[in-house]
Amino acid sequence: MYQIRIGCQLGYRAATPTPSVFILAPQAHARHMIVREALETTGASVGNEYRDLFGNRCRRITIAPGECNLRYEALACVPHHADEVRPEARQVPPAELPPEVLRFTLPSRYAENDKLLGFAWETFSKVPTGFLRAQAINEWVHKNIEYRRGSSRPDWSATDVLAHRYGVCRDRAHLVIALCRAFNMPARYAVSYLPDIDVPEDGLAMDFHAYAEVWLEGGWQIFDPQQLAPRKGRIFLASGLDAADAAFATLYGPAFLTKFSVFADPVNEKGEKLDLRLRPTPAPSVGALPPPITPSVVVASASPAFV
């Protein structure tokens, strides 16, 4: 098992007391185990924790006027293997879907599949149903929607992302979700802490990572348009119909974010950080090259047009 130190540090400035709801702590999941966790705050009063309709662990916190700081930290254990992939999974017909997943076939605020029916059927209707179609949608979004960090707007939906052809991880996830729902495949928005294990260094600061999950025969399956390959160490945080249900912070007043950092670091038994990222393979040494051969006769000089 990998041991992953996860968490975040958030800072806010408020003029008046601001009731808020935060989703920072992972819910129970078959893919991870939380060994210990702690929430520290200054300039805020911490209320009760409750579970929302999607099972997310929501914490009520009132931000006091002035400066507020929150730090959540936990130690999680995750298996060494990567995200499960079930390429044989079939699409379950609507008449056979469990009642609790039917809602994930319908339009939502940021994933309006009703507006994308024409595009979806024109582009993907010839792909076999089930895993292959969901995979084709995921690969199309990865290839055709450019990832631009900090580029999108909070009110962008799947239709906006398709029109602009760029966005962040949440935008790409919304488009995958909407296109899968267009074919009656239940799809939901998910967020995780995602450590860099067996992936190259990308030079970007860590953030909460958003992706799509599609309900196929056997249950929810991950379709992440950010990196198509299955990832190791993913720690499921929250889910919902779209980003409105799984936001890390919902503020009921004028509080402004002043500090933001997220961490998901593999550690050893002593709690020391491990670097498990991939390193580039050095080019093989070709050794000493033989001296150039000097011709005894110059046949022609090079034409200036090709120099």
Could you read off the pLDDT of 59-99 as tens digits, one per residue? 999 999 999 999 999 999 999 999 999 999 999 999 999 99
Give the pLDDT band of residue 307 (cuts 50, 70, 90). very low
pLDDT at 285: 55
CB 179 within 8 A of CB 116: yes
Q: Please, how many CA atoms are within 13 Å of residue 183, restricted to the half-sphere of its CB?
A: 29
Cβ-Cβ contacts under 8 Å for 184 (sequence gap 6 or more): 91, 93, 94, 105
pLDDT at 2: 95
Helix axes 131-144, 117-124, angle to 10 degrees: 110
CB 125 within 8 A of CB 171: no
What digits encode the pLDDT tens for the residues 238-291?
999 999 999 999 999 999 999 999 999 999 998 899 999 987 666 555 554 555
**pTM of the predicted structure, to 2 decimals:** 0.89
Tokens of 71: 């730090």
Q: Judging by DSSP bridges, how do beta strands 146-147 and 166-167 pair with one another?
A: parallel
Least confident of 16-20, 46-50, 301-305: 301-305
CB 240 within 8 A of CB 54: yes
pLDDT at 147 over 60: yes
pLDDT at 281: 62
CB 212 within 8 A of CB 176: yes
pLDDT at 282: 60
Residue whose C-alpha is closest to residue 45's, from 75, 65, 27, 28: 65
CB 178 within 8 A of CB 111: yes
pLDDT at 284: 59
pLDDT at 148: 92
Q: Which residue has the tokens 């210990």?
A: 36
Q: Is residue 213 classed exposed, middle or buried when 0-12, 13-18 and 19+ CB atoms within 10 A define those classes?
A: buried
Tokens of 249: 């912070």
Residue whose C-alpha is closest to residue 189's, from 202, 180, 198, 197: 180
pLDDT at 306 over 70: no
Q: What average pLDDT does range 13-27 have in this prediction?
A: 97
pLDDT at 178: 98
What digits encode the pLDDT tens for the residues 27-53?
989 889 999 999 999 999 999 999 999
What digits encode the pLDDT tens for the residues 193-250?
999 999 998 888 899 999 999 999 999 999 999 989 999 999 999 999 999 999 999 9
Give the pLDDT band of residue 293 (cuts 50, 70, 90). very low
- Which residues, listed in sequence order, are joined to residue 9 by a DSSP beta bridge? 71, 261
**Position with higher pLDDT, 142 vs 152:** 142
pLDDT at 110: 98
pLDDT at 286: 55
What digits encode the pLDDT tens for the residues 154-208?
899 999 999 999 999 999 999 999 999 999 999 999 999 999 999 998 888 899 9
